[in-house]
Chain A
């Protein structure tokens, strides 16, 4: 094992900074909520800049277990940016929950795990980082003490997650036993030499099932709706917008490892999973009266959408990444919007949305854009991701064509329930009066929600109208740093 030089330590600065910040936040005085918020948001911003400065570096450290390349930087910047949006919006939320410091400290620790994931080139590092993300986020739904639903959310999330970890470790032990290495590249080489074996396939399925949990792929999605609904909305935004996306990076790495031997079969497995996920997620969302729950199920469906790109491979992976960003932005913004509705109207059921177009025109407009983007209506960003996946899939023909068709049909189906919310907002008179914005210390006005919401919407629109820049960066990072190793 090589020792770490100072030069290499610089590459680890973003990770170390997060660790330090998390500790600092825990040491802050209990009432310093705004301070904690400032430290977290500022720290993430600084981290983002640090990561950006690593763009172009291509190096392996820690005995090859940790890679710093454009792919890792891209994912890190993406996730840090998303987390920053989430933290910015959380200010008003933490102002009235007791555990503000813990909330931010845990969030930063989860981010630490998420920063390690794209860089890790070793299964042990990967799993440890993944567990770091999981364990910290198990607690996040409990941020609001007096919300019993948060307890249920956290518990369901935890038990499902623990089970998933067991599956992952079982799969990894098989993989290690077979290939004799935990290094991703060596593992792929060993597989290429040793050839296909049913044991490898079992390991793949176990890994997919284990990580499929966090991605909320059907049939490993059961926790998702209950957890997403039970958690406070800012937390849900983080879970579905940031941590879930980390699992996709893990999945991509595993698929790349397997691509040498099992390319068509792994793609088929993932394709079937995704097709089922999209359909089940959308059908479940169709009849929901609670919009938060509806968006939770739609997150399940979108997980399927993202996976389609991985299954198809090639340029479609760029589509997956665009869609990851799109869905993360949409989810974060949407859950903040739901939090505003929840605080100003007392709930997120369908009737709370009636007449919102008149009561809160700005919010309703933003929400409409988000919902249309969720549904993949062009030219919003939600459309381009799907388009980038569908076009290569159609080009490949065969069962990929069927997969693309299922994706398109599901987009159509999802529009039914997204449009229902828009209809409630714009085409029904209001039934529930707006609560006045209580701008005292206990219940702030919700300005930070608005800020995060509009930032996300602005990004969504900007990327939607000019997706070229995004696709170019994604494809260059993916095809130069990740796919050929």
Chain B
């Protein structure tokens, strides 16, 4: 049942393209049924969950990894899924009227269904890997939705930024999950909860906390990882409302809340969360003042408000966490309605620029009402719900020094001041959002369109959301008892009773509110001066420039590396390969100290002739590498071969020596023939290798020789088995009738092998003969295939090519080539 609800949006997402074909532009109405049904179903589960029942479904997915498709509904999950489905319902009704009929509606509803399902998955999964999968899916669907208007540049860049950052955060979470699994041996949240002490005492605990929090902070757009959120505002406004203020950005908070019972309660956890949260709170509220775009203001305000909630989780007391969860609800209500209001203004006036808008209240009274309630609630003014949770926040801040943050000592007393300063600016931009745009003697004339009130289809969802601010304020205890208390229990693991009232007496929180309103009003009356002051500072902050450096620097570095690395020259490839193999072989030899294992006691004595032969051979081998002209290299190579055959003579193996001599002669002649036959100009086009390159070749040769020598000496030292020479000594004459063991072996003992070799050689000879006989021009023409005279175009990264490769293309060419002088 529960799993069905979670997976329903996915099924709907797959059906959307089909439904779009059937219903056309009416698809929005059909799609709305999905969140409606889910919202109703979850709401009907509310009493059961509040009664303490945990509704769970588990399907084994990959037992080998301990990954299950496990979903469960507890208080915290229920709060989130209700928010997601409820606001999703409002947003989808709104988008029916917001989007034009000629947009890609099928895509839109598919993506939004995908997102909704992914969010349900994140908030109900009890298996961490399962949760991570849904988590990444939210990033992907967010990417698709931000880039919905992909014809323009900015949405594309914004989508890319959001994807890269949130995916990066996702990988951090995955790393943290895997570490958790290795510490506690489980991926299930319940079992991790039971292993809380083991985890917190583990040496990996700080790593886990940091990685997990990075992932959560990216998702919740906390400073300094917030940079994707303002650019994500390029998405259609309903999407900004749904993903980037009401639900997806709260996934980070969900993760923190979910992990608090497991990882929380320590100075590290509380400290990081509080510092980041408060920084975001202050930074967001300051940056919001600077914005001219209404959605920009709301984006930074979201960063700020999420910072507020997160810092409450950092304080860690039951009261603070309860306040955080309560504010989460209120924030979704007022921020959602403000986004919808912004969408209406944008839709009706054609602009979101606050400089071009004023006096809209006269022509758009209902929208103005939404804006008024929403922004006053955001400012924390009574009698709206925002005031209630703001009071709780200030209360918690004033007691921060007694909470988890006691380790901060006197620094904890700074927290109330930070809270007040941030709240002052929150007050200012909230109030300004309403007064500067909606209040004024004249209706704006600078907007692209003359504004007028919109239809009820867009107003109704906005009114519904904004009315929550009043309803919650009227009956806060109903909401707290039914919706929040279960979530509080999940996070804190104790039954905490949150009592909410407008008047608590002359508490520090109330005094702080008074100060905020007073100072806020002063700042508001000097609004233009303050805004100009803020604008005079540099706008690009560190994180943004770091992102841009990464975005543009990484491909540049990669490109340079590629050009250097893959240059298309086969001889460089081979040199690198040999170098790589040598590195590993010599490395492991050094690691093992192979030279200490060499045993030379058993070696035959070496005389002068052998030494001088070795000298000649190695000098010639060096010459092969170092000679500038190819013909000299070939001759030097044959010298090496002849030296080897001399060795055979010394070792009294004349038949071997004869074979070697023949092979050497033939291969030298073949080499020379190839050089001689090479087409005219090929040698000229391929100058000899540079001195440095040839030196490297020689060096590689020396190292290979060194390695081979070591290996041979090592091999000499380990004779674990008897030689089989005695067998041939004894049996050569009686069994095969010959005294020369080599000959006997070739023709008798290994007769079949010799026959096979001869066959292979004959086949090769026939092949060569056929090739010569046929000639190049007939080789393909007899099939009547006309291949075009395409010259060899190098397709590798830098366009270089080698002699060999070029010869190959000549081989394919029909023309007889002219003979080149060497």
Residues of A bordering B, CB below 8 Å: 98, 145-146, 148-149, 151-152, 155-156, 159-160, 163, 167, 174, 177-178, 180, 194, 196-199, 201-202, 204-206, 208-209, 213, 218-220, 222-223, 225-226, 229-230, 265, 269, 273, 280, 283-284, 286-288, 290, 315, 318, 372, 377-379, 384, 387-388, 390-391, 394-395, 397, 404-405, 408-409, 411-412, 415-416, 419, 423, 426-429, 467-468, 471-472, 475
Contacts and interface: CB of A to CB of B under 8 A. Distances in A.
A427 B597 contact: no
B589 A201 contact: yes
B61 A429 contact: no
A28 B104 CA distance: 52
B503 interface: no
Contacts of B783: 98
A222 B573 contact: yes
The winner among B62, B150, B160, B783 for most chain A CB atoms within 10 A is B62
A230 B584 contact: no
B795 A178 contact: no
Nearest to A404: B178
B147 interface: yes
A220 B181 contact: no
A394 B554 CA distance: 28
A394 B568 contact: no
B175 A427 contact: no
A206 B578 CA distance: 11
Given A98-B785, A155-B804, 7 more contacts: A148-B791, A148-B793, A152-B801, A155-B570, A378-B132, A388-B62, A408-B175
Interface stretch (B161-169, B369-377, B535-543): B161-169
A201 B566 contact: no
Contacts of A174: 711, 715
A66 B538 CA distance: 73
A201 B580 contact: no
Contacts of B64: 315, 318, 388, 468, 471-472, 475
Contacts of A265: 588, 591
A201 to B, nearest CB: 5
A198 B593 CA distance: 8
B392 to A, nearest CB: 38
Contacts of B171: 408-409, 411-412
Given A286-B554, A287-B555, A395 B167 contact: no
A377 B592 CA distance: 41
B581 interface: yes
B592 A201 contact: yes
B585 interface: yes
B589 A230 contact: no
Contacts of A423: 147, 156, 160
A409 B67 CA distance: 22
Interface string B776-812: 0000100101011011111110000100110011011
A387 B65 contact: yes
B522 interface: no
A352 to B, nearest CB: 15
A199 B174 contact: no
Contact of B182 (A201, A223, A387, A395): A395
A205 B558 contact: no
Contact of B156 (A146, A218, A220, A427): A427
A229 B150 CA distance: 31
B661 interface: no
Contacts of B726: none
B59 to A, nearest CB: 10
Nearest to A427: B150
Instruction: List the 4 closest A-B pairs by CB distance, nearest first.
Output: A219-B580, A222-B573, A198-B594, A427-B150
Given A148-B790, A388-B65, A159 B588 contact: no
A205 B60 contact: no
B565 interface: yes
Nearest to A415: B167
Nearest to A173: B715
B581 A408 contact: no
A140 B14 CA distance: 40
Nearest to B180: A394
Contacts of B793: 148-149
A377 B576 CA distance: 34
A413 B175 CA distance: 15
Contact of B711 (A199, A280, A287): A199
Nearest to B796: A226
A219 B579 contact: yes
Given A199-B718, A220-B577, A287-B555, A206 B787 contact: no
A155 B805 contact: yes
A429 B151 contact: yes
B431 to A, nearest CB: 39
Contact of B574 (A98, A163, A202): A163
28 contacts: A145-B780, A152-B801, A152-B805, A156-B573, A156-B805, A160-B577, A178-B715, A198-B588, A202-B714, A205-B585, A206-B585, A209-B577, A222-B573, A283-B558, A286-B554, A287-B558, A315-B64, A378-B136, A395-B182, A405-B175, A408-B171, A408-B174, A411-B171, A419-B160, A467-B62, A468-B60, A468-B64, A475-B64
A287 B594 contact: no
B727 interface: no
B512 to A, nearest CB: 43
Contacts of A288: 562
B203 to A, nearest CB: 10
Contacts of A98: 783, 785
B554 A148 contact: no
B121 to A, nearest CB: 11
Nearest to B129: A387
A394 B809 contact: no
A198 B795 contact: no
A443 to B, nearest CB: 16
The winner among B65, B171, B711 for most chain A CB atoms within 10 A is B65
B63 interface: yes
A429 to B, nearest CB: 7
A405 B171 CA distance: 10
B714 A199 contact: yes
Contacts of A213: 577
Nearest to B207: A401
A308 to B, nearest CB: 14
B140 interface: yes
B133 interface: yes
Nearest to A219: B580
B769 interface: no
Nearest to A204: B588
A201 B711 CA distance: 10
B705 interface: no
B592 A378 contact: no
B597 A428 contact: no
Nearest to B584: A205
A222 B591 CA distance: 27
A299 to B, nearest CB: 14
Contacts of A218: 580
Contacts of A155: 570, 804-805, 808
Contacts of A412: 167-168, 171
A213 B151 CA distance: 44
Contacts of B804: 155, 159
Interface string B139-161: 01000000100110000100110
B62 A384 contact: yes
A263 to B, nearest CB: 14
Contact of B562 (A197, A284, A318, A404): A284
Interface in B685-720: 707, 711, 714-715, 718, 720
A372 B572 CA distance: 34
The winner among A409, A416, A471 for most chain B CB atoms within 10 A is A416
Contacts of B654: none
Contact of B164 (A194, A391, A416, A472): A416
A381 to B, nearest CB: 12
A205 B566 contact: no
B566 A284 contact: yes
A17 to B, nearest CB: 25
